[in-house]
Amino acid sequence: MATDAKDIRNLIFAGHSGCGKTTLTEALLFNGGAISRMGSVNDGTTVSDYTEDEKERKCSIGSSLMTFSFGGKKINMIDTPGYTDFIGEIIGGLRAVESSVVVMSATGGIEIGTERGHKMSVAANVSSVFFVNRLDKENADFGKCVEALRKKFGKGCVAITYPLGQETSLKGVVNLITRQGIDALPDSDKTAAQSVYENLCEAVAETDDVLLEKYLDKGELTPEELKGALRKAVAENRIYPIFCGSAEKNIGVKELLDFIVNYMPSPLDKKEVEAVKVDSAERVKIAVDPNSPFSALVFKTLSDPFLGQISIFKVFSGRLPSNGGFYNVRSGIREKVGQVFSLLGKAQLPMDEASAGDIACVAKLKDTATGDTICDEKRQVKFDDIQFPEPAIAFSLKPKTRGDEDKISNALHKLTAEDPTFKITRDEQTKEMIANGMGDLHINIMINRMKIRSGVQVDIGTPKVAYKETITGKGDAQYRHKKQTGGAGQFAEVWMRIEPLERGKGFEFVDEVVGGAIPRPFVVSCEKGIKTAMASGVLAGFPVVDVKAIVYDGKTHPVDSKDIAFQTAARQAFKESMMKAKPVLLEPIMDVDITVPEECMGDIAGSLNSRRGRVMGMEGGDGVQTIRAKVPLEEMYKYVNELKSITGGRGTYTMTFSHYDIVPSNVAQAIIDKAKLTKKEEAEE
């Protein structure tokens, strides 16, 4: 039987790597009765981190769904990785939830992952709750953490629980809403807890004018007033509750679970999601109503060794029964579904149907991918695309053993289906297979995943830059091709001049032959020969672009002139002309937008300068600056690591192709020498 939307709680867990997100979800499952004993990340026994690479690395790599029931509510939890390289998992998950639990370490304080998790939640209109974890560790200080959160994110950050004891003596938490356990606090802590409670009452009162007037008049709120206003303020993102404890020791977790059930928003408490009507492009609001036509968004794809591809989706309206079907707006096809189910890590929990507000899964769909809108064919709507970041780093892939190309292609296809921030491209010029991802760790994990699942291995290298050659002056050459063998001979003479074209124009061929010195069919042969020569230039064998070639004279032989002879003569004449026309190398220049904290601006400008970058402009934001620059692609392949180092992981960038430009002569010579050496090595193999 489907669960009413008012009884569903959809949550995502975010935070810095290693802060204890997975352990907290494990403790919540234990307190909710979904598991009989808590597993451990170190032992590889948690519900969430169930893949081989997660067990091996002792950290989350992909997001995982865990569903259980507690207190009459159905709770869908999405555990996400903390590493920046896997930010796509948070972006996708945020489209499916109404709440986030941002976990922070009491010893680490506000780290990059804490800040990112909260800011992304607020930007996505998702209610944010903090859990200050590891209060049982040395140097843990709850008061400092609360102070730091309020300073960073405002007075709306208020503590709901207060620790009973500290560091190794932590034995429980006090619930400030119910005041339960407050008498157990020592006098010094009672004063601090009272101050925290007053901050809570004041912040909640300020979200309601009538309540604020009463609070200012009487100096207190009744428990009922506090609870009612708190629930509303959390749903409206005006209050960000702070919980505390130790997930590992299961301290403070039950209080968080009770709050999730009683105070966190249901799908009905958030503003309606908008979609576009496919037939009219009109934007409409989709009500969370099980009785209206079905519509949902696929926000995550998993690859299961037994079930194949699993599509995980959030239902915004209507119902999807097991053995039913839906229409895919992107692919334009109707998909049949088998069993609808939910997940508890890797375990499947069968469902009769998925209803509005819920998160569910189906397997073995024909053509449905992450980001697809699925709906009732009679009411076709499309939800906004999930805006995944563009990959920031690229590596070339080469099979370790020949004959593995097909296996590699299939394995990579599955990986790109699971993770939209991992992309595979093929460079037509260099003939290389390129893996594009968010960082070194991301690419390495994907390659390792391919090895574990498909048994194929690849060598990773830095991709070759698609350089090109062109000319900056004019050149003229005459070439006679004469070949005499026992049988028929070959003869052709071609007179040619070349000159540069405007950048981006490609190639232009001009026939200026007069008086039939070269018959028309052989002029066509000349053009063919020139195009062959352009495939590999005279400097380093790169393709030639932006050249105008004019054939203006030549000679023929009544017997020995033929197509192949004129192709050969034109090819050689073109190469000789190029040598005289001041040839240069061209390299791809990228438009790069780099967003960094303001205090890193000087270092970033310096790093761009050292990479031959040109800053084109800057744009300010909330504590950050976006620098727009043009940088050669060659200099950007490993930039993600330098950016992480300079900004402490807080910097991001996007990169798109801008244009080709001339490589400075000092840089060009090194590229030419390297290309010649590579060619020589390949010839010797």
Is the domain of 208 the same as that of 357? no
Residue 38 lies in a domain: yes
| pLDDT tens column, 198-254 | 999 999 999 998 899 988 888 888 888 899 999 999 999 999 999 999 999 999 999
Q: Which of 581, 602, 633 is the last residue of a domain?
A: 581
Give the model's pLDDT for residue 685.
56
- Write the CB contacts of 166 (distance below 8 Å, at least 6 apart in sequence): 135, 140, 141, 142
Let me know whether 169 and 96 are in one domain.
Answer: yes
In the predicted model, what is the mean pLDDT of residues 291-320?
A: 93
Does residue 560 fall inside a structural domain? yes
Whole-number Cα distances in Å, 30 to 11, 25, 43, 254: 17, 9, 17, 10
Has residue 484 got a pLDDT over 80? no
Segment 114-128, tens digit of pLDDT: 988 999 999 999 999
Question: Is 615 a domain residue?
Answer: yes
Would residue 130 count as lying in a domain?
yes
Residue 272, Cβ density class (10 Å: 0-12 exposed, 13-18 middle, ≥19 buried): middle
Task: Give the count of beta carbons closer than 10 Å to the beta carbon of residue 270.
Answer: 20
Q: 404 in a domain, yes or no?
A: yes
Q: How many domains does the chain have?
A: 5
Instruction: Please check whether residues 510 and 591 belong to one and the same domain.
Output: no
Q: Indicate the burial class of 120 (C-beta count within 10 angstroms; 0-12, 13-18, 19 or more).
A: buried
The contacts of residue 212 (CB under 8 Å, 6+ apart) are 205, 206
SS3 category, 313: strand
Instruction: Provide mean pLDDT across the span 508-531.
Output: 93
Q: Residue 373: pLDDT above 60?
A: yes
- Could you give the maximum distance between any two Cα atoms of the chain, in Å? 116
The last residue of a domain, from among 238, 269, 300: 269
Residue 499 identity (one-letter amino acid): E
Res 306 pLDDT > 70: yes
Measured between alpha carbons, how far is 592 from 634 in angstroms, rounded to an integer? Answer: 13
> Percent of the chain scored above 70 by pLDDT?
98
- 367 and 399 in a single domain? The answer is no
pLDDT value at 680 more than 80: no
CA–CA distance from 259 to each of 130, 161, 182, 223, 523 (Å)? 12, 11, 18, 15, 82
More confident residue, 638 or 209: 209
214, 138: one domain? yes
Same domain, 613 and 549: no
Q: What is the pLDDT of residue 683?
A: 65
Instruction: Specify whether 157 is located in the same domain as 208.
Output: yes
What does the pLDDT look like over 1-22, one tens digit per residue? Answer: 788 999 999 999 999 888 999 9
CA distances from 596 to 150, 287, 294 (A): 22, 38, 42
Separation between Cα atoms, residue 658 and residue 663, nearest integer Å: 15
Do 164 and 296 have their domain in common?
no
Range of the domain at 444: 393-461
Confidence (pLDDT) at 442:
86
- pLDDT higher than threshold 90 for residue 578: yes
Q: Which residue has the higher pLDDT, 132 or 388?
A: 132
**685 in any annotated domain:** no
Residue 681 lies in a domain: no
Q: Which two tokens stand for residue 482?
A: 């004469």
Consecutive H or E run containing 334: strand 333-336
Residues in the chain: 685
- Residue 407 CA, chain-centre distance (Å), reads 25
Residues 649 and 609 in one domain: yes
- Mean model confidence pLDDT for the chain: 90
Nearest to 492 by CA among 558, 570, 566: 566
The rounded distance, in Å, linking the Cα atoms of 461 and 65 is 35
Segment 105-117 shows an average pLDDT of 88
Residue with tokens 């960038």: 653
pLDDT in tens, 391-427: 767 788 888 877 777 788 888 888 888 889 888 888 7
Q: Are residues 397 and 341 in the same domain?
A: no
In whole angstroms, give the CA distance from residue 99 to residue 12: 6
CA-to-CA separations, 576 to 37, 388, 509, 571, 572, in angstroms, rounded: 78, 49, 17, 9, 6
**pLDDT beyond 80 at 77:** yes
The CATH number of the domain holding residue 455 is: 3.30.70.870
Contact present, 361 and 370 (Cβ < 8 Å): no
pLDDT at 425: 82
Query: What are the residues whose beta carbons fall under 8 Å from the beta carbon of 409, sequence distance 6 or more?
Result: none
Residues 79 and 211 in one domain: yes
pLDDT above 90 for 154: yes
Name, in order, each residue with C-beta under 8 angstroms of 116's C-beta and a sequence gap of 6 or more.
Answer: 14, 84, 87, 90
Spatial neighbors of 89 by CB under 8 A, at least 6 apart, are 62, 63, 80, 81, 300
